[in-house]
Amino acid sequence: MRCRSCGLIFVNPRLECHLEIQTTSGTGSMGEDELTPAQERRLRREVASVEPFRRLNRMLEVGPGRGWFLSVAAQAGWETWAVEINKQAIQHLRTRGVHHVIVAAAEDFEPPEGSVDAVRVWDVIEHLQSPRKAVTNIHKALRPGGLLRLATTNFASLSRRVNGPEWVYLNGADHIFLFEPATISRLLTECGFSGIRIRTRSFNLRRRLYFPERDLPPKFPFLFLRPFRKLIDGAVALTVYGHQMIVTATKPLLEG
């Protein structure tokens, strides 16, 4: 469904067991058992990019899954905090050296106001029961001048436009909110964030049917674009039509 007022895309009706799926299986524990050297370098670069915001020395990640980002942040000296409800993910976090694990939904955790320098929310907001409640909690947790880094799939992407109903994220089960640059900007602004910047990346050729569940080959003629994937990804990154949005925003130093 698309909201006629704000343009937000959402699933209606939702599965009654949606929250249970996120708690017991879902995507909370997905990810690599081990990082490749390239993945570790990318995470180290990301942690380094947050360094200018270090004041309280506290980093929070909402929905960290296997906890690789927080593990790298801890190695850089950050006090690491996690908000997670997935049972498998919680076990990973506790063995990965994360200092504090808050077992709660992103909409329900109660952070001390202004307690962290930076919050990361990576491929999570689209799974939540109420993105607005979660973003409100994140805004409260951040100190004035603190940083939010967020990633989510882009409903306005070239990938979705090409693949149509067979776009990989139109399953209706776990991605229950699908954002575009305009709708994620509106949400963050209404929750009190400023300095919002959005870049996009990647052209995803993956197509999938869910009933019955099976992967499909890329549409003709896109099947023949695989050798040019890096070139296409580079070109798409210059537009707002990439498969994934990378969003940064800050909590204003002075409210109001």
The reply to whether 4 falls in a domain is no
d(CA 171, CA 209): 8
**pLDDT mean over 15-36:** 74
- How many domains does the chain fold into? 1
CA dihedral 46, 47, 53, 55 (to 10 degrees): 170
Poorest-pLDDT segment among 112-116, 212-216, 235-239, 250-254 = 212-216
* Backbone phi, psi, residue 140, to 5°: -65, -40
Is 230 domain-assigned? Answer: yes
Residue 84 domain boundaries: 9-250
In a domain, 55, yes or no: yes
Residue 238 — left, alpha, or beta (φ > 0 → left; ψ -120 to 50 → alpha)? alpha
The answer to whether 128 and 177 are in contact (CB under 8 A) is: yes
Place of tokens 């106001």: 113
CA gyration radius, the chain: 18
88: which 2 tokens?
């498998």
Q: Is pLDDT of 225 > 80? A: no
pLDDT, tens digit, for every residue of 149-158? 999 999 999 9
pLDDT at 26 over 80: no
Q: Is residue 1 part of a domain?
A: no
122: number of Cβ within 10 Å = 18
Amino acid present at 23: T
* pLDDT (mean) for 231-248: 91
Say what percent of the chain tops pLDDT 70: 95
Q: Give the span between the Cα atoms of 162 and 176, in whole angstroms.
A: 21
Higher-confidence position of 224 and 40: 40
Task: Please say if the pLDDT value at position 256 is more than 70.
Answer: no
3 inside domain: no
Report the pLDDT averaged over residues 101-122: 95
We report the CATH number of the domain holding residue 210 as: 3.40.50.150
The answer to whether position 256 is within a domain reads no
Q: What is the mean pLDDT of residues 122-143?
A: 96
Mean pLDDT for the chain overall: 90
Q: What percent of the chain has pLDDT over 90?
A: 65
